[in-house]
């Protein structure tokens, strides 16, 4: 099965299911999918049953949804498309990192595998998108840093920002203004407060959006 053999809705679902567990979170539930796609629980149940019949995921009522190996492979094809498109829109067309997600969501369903291959070459084979999320390689391996932790769970010490969740455009705008981007340094204080090198205090919402690796 190739990615264009399934519908855009199916492409969105398998990508969302894979994204939900990318950074160590538990598998997504049908109610969480309903919230993610702003639809009803019965609509989600119907869709996941259809995808299960196609061999893309496993579905049991009242249990989280998980991808099969085939579903995971196709999900990574979509993730690769999306993150390369985000990188192109920011690096080449001058999009800001808080406005790029929506257009990449639309474009990822229209491009071909040949286009993505040439886009990757044009961009020089980037390993991460503007938010720091790793871009799956052509063989669909994903270079996640082993030592990255969510800052809400981080022990006191110094950290280097690895990636920032892109779900909240307003938070992304604020973080960019505070120069909290991949590669920035953050300190977690003994009392749990977090500050940038410039002394900017990070809110709980910011900490919950940032993965970082410890540094000396």
Residue 146's pLDDT is 85
Q: Are the C-beta atoms of residues 174 and 207 closer than 8 Å to each other?
A: no
Residue with tokens 């474009």: 107
Q: Which H or E run contains 187?
A: strand 185-188
Positive or negative torsion for Cα 95, 18, 165, 137: negative
Q: How far apart are CA 125 and CA 18, in angstroms?
A: 22
Report pLDDT digits (tens) over 62-102.
889 999 999 999 999 999 999 999 999 999 999 999 999 99
The rounded distance, in Å, linking the Cα atoms of 163 and 131 is 5
Q: What is the pLDDT of residue 61?
A: 84
Q: What is the pLDDT of residue 207?
A: 95
Strand order in the sheet with 157-164: 149-150, 210-215, 157-164, 185-188, 194-196
Q: Is 195 helix (H, G, I), strand (E, B) or coil?
A: strand
pLDDT per residue over 165-184, tens digit each?
Answer: 999 999 999 999 999 999 99
- Residues forming a β-bridge with 58: 66
Cβ atoms of 214 and 146 closer than 8 Å: no
pLDDT of residue 86: 98
- CA–CA separation, 92 vs 3, rounded Å? 26
Cβ-contact 88, 123 below 8 angstroms: yes
- Residue stretches of the chain with pLDDT short of 70: none
- CA atoms of 66 and 33, how far apart (whole Å): 12
């Amino acid at each position: 099965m190739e990615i264009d053999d399934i519908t855009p809705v199916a492409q969105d679902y398998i990508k969302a299911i894979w994204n939900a567990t990318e950074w160590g979170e538990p598998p997504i539930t049908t109610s969480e999918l309903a919230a993610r796609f702003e639809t009803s629980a019965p609509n989600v149940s119907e869709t996941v049953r259809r995808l299960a019949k196609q061999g893309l995921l496993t579905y049991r009522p009242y249990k989280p949804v998980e991808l099969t190996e085939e579903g995971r492979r196709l999900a990574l094809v979509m993730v690769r498309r999306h993150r390369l498109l985000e990188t192109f829109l920011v690096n080449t067309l001058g999009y800001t990192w808080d406005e790029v997600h929506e257009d990449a969501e639309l474009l990822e369903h229209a491009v071909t595998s040949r286009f993505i291959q040439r886009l990757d070459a044009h961009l020089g084979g980037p390993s991460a998108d503007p938010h720091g999320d790793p871009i799956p390689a052509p063989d669909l391996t994903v270079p996640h840093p082993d030592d990255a932790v969510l800052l809400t769970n981080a022990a006191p010490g110094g950290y280097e920002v690895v990636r920032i969740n892109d779900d909240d455009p307003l938070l992304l705008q604020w973080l960019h203004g505070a120069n909290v981007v991949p590669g920035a340094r953050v300190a977690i204080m003994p009392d749990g407060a977090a500050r940038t090198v410039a002394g900017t205090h990070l809110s709980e919402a910011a900490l919950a959006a940032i993965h970082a690796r410890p540094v000396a």
